[in-house]
Amino acid sequence: MTLSATLSPGSAPSSDAETASAAPLFSIPGDPVPAGAVSGYLTAEDGVRIRYARWPADQGVPARGTVALFSGRTEFIEKYYEVVRELTARGFAVAMLDWRGQGGSERLLRNARKGYVPDFRDYQRDLAVFAREVLLPDCPAPHFALAHSMAGVVLLDSVLEGRRWFDRMVLLAPMLAINLGPSTGATRVLAGMLKGFLGRAYVPGGTNRPVTSRPFAKNPVTSDARRYALAAAMVDAHPALAMGAPTIGWLAAAFDIMERLMQPEVIRRIRQPLLIVGAGDERIVSNRAIEHLSARLIAGGHVTIAGSKHEILMERDIYREQFWAAFDAFIPGSAEG
């Protein structure tokens, strides 16, 4: 593998060569880096540097393969430490990446907090180098994917590109359509018109303010105050992880891929075994779009967790337990499957 490194929490690179490859994983009191982490950087085919991390399954439990865990827009590896521990305790190795432009991967604009990508196909470059240089050579088979929100459409797009890196995929609240209400159509047209000369500008009203700084009472993603505060504390302690609002260019690119994935002829081409898990109290993406795609899948199932908000894995235990029950039933060889 190229450009990889094992790094203990809090350690620092000691040479220029190490500086080129070392990828630190951050921690805060109460949320340490899970044991056994290997982290490093990969270089996508267009030269963008991508951070990754992987963990072995816990010793003493039957080995069950690898779960590749993919986060949504603005998120970062550190936010998922609890989920990593839950998966390794089930006997899975875990592998993660930070998508380009967020987390510890290379930011694409001078203002590092702007969420930007000109085309969602660029995320396929991140996925390809991750699969080629981390997942396939270093992670035990079988390989499964667990993808949240934005990552869900990236993974679906990879299937349409003919990639079959994963035996099964679990998609959590996939971003098949953004929940903008009656203004969705007009917003899509406007974003498409403006992306050519204002693509790197924030969407109207968007700022550098980290999304994690929103007061808990006003957040649309979870009803769990402790987990919400933990993610915010990680960003406060390590501001390099912070992300602000999306740009017009990112939004236009998101509309493009969402429209393409929802075409009837495209849906019929998806033969990947899928489990789609929706959030009953969803305010970010469209549950109607999720239900539309799920009903037309050839090899897929769909469950909705009533009462859960968008970030199901960051929700209260009453909702997370329902997710894990569905996961365990769907993934072969898991703790309950």
Residue 239, pLDDT > 70, answer yes
Q: For the chain, what's the residue count? A: 337
Q: What is the mean pLDDT of residues 262-277?
A: 93
Q: Do the domain assignments include residue 1?
A: no
**pLDDT tens-digit map of 209-226:** 999 999 999 999 999 999
Residue 2, pLDDT > 80, answer no
What letter does residue 247 receive in the DSSP assignment? Answer: B
Q: What is the predicted pLDDT for the residue at 332? A: 85
Q: What is the predicted pLDDT for the residue at 334? A: 52
How far is it, in rounded angstroms, from Cα 257 to Cα 241?
Answer: 26
Residue 20, pLDDT > 50, answer no
Q: Do the domain assignments include residue 44?
A: no
Residue 191 belongs to what domain range?
Answer: 61-330
Mean pLDDT lowest among 119-133, 181-195, 238-252? 181-195
Q: Which of the two residues, 184 and 209, has the higher pLDDT score? A: 209
Is residue 319 packed enough to be buried (19+ CB in 10 Å), middle (13-18) or exposed (0-12)? Answer: buried
Q: Do the domain assignments include residue 337?
A: no
User: Total structural domains in the chain?
Assistant: 1
70, 124, 154, 259 from 297: Cα distances, Å: 22, 22, 17, 17
**pLDDT tens-digit map of 119-172:** 999 999 999 999 999 999 999 999 999 999 999 999 999 999 999 999 999 999
Q: What does pTM read for this prediction?
A: 0.92
Q: What is the predicted pLDDT for the residue at 29? A: 95
Q: 180: pLDDT confidence band, cut at 50, 70 and 90?
A: confident
**pLDDT tens-digit map of 283-295:** 999 999 999 999 9
Q: Do the domain assignments include residue 38?
A: no
Average pLDDT of the chain, as a whole number: 91
**pLDDT tens-digit map of 38-93:** 999 999 999 999 999 999 999 999 999 999 999 999 999 999 999 999 999 999 99
CATH code at position 286:
3.40.50.1820
What is the β-pairing status of strands 143-148 and 66-70?
parallel
Query: Measured in Å, how far apart are the chain's first and last C-alpha atoms?
Result: 33
CB 50 within 8 A of CB 77: no
Q: 184: pLDDT confidence band, cut at 50, 70 and 90?
A: confident
Q: Do the domain assignments include residue 65?
A: yes
Q: Do the domain assignments include residue 48?
A: no
Residue 232 Cα to chain centre, angstroms: 17
Q: Do the domain assignments include residue 56?
A: no
b/e 69-84 (16+ beta carbons within 10 angstroms → b): bbbbbbbbbbbbbebb
Residue that is written with structure tokens 């209260």 in the block: 316
Q: Do the domain assignments include residue 29?
A: no
Q: 181: pLDDT confidence band, cut at 50, 70 and 90?
A: confident
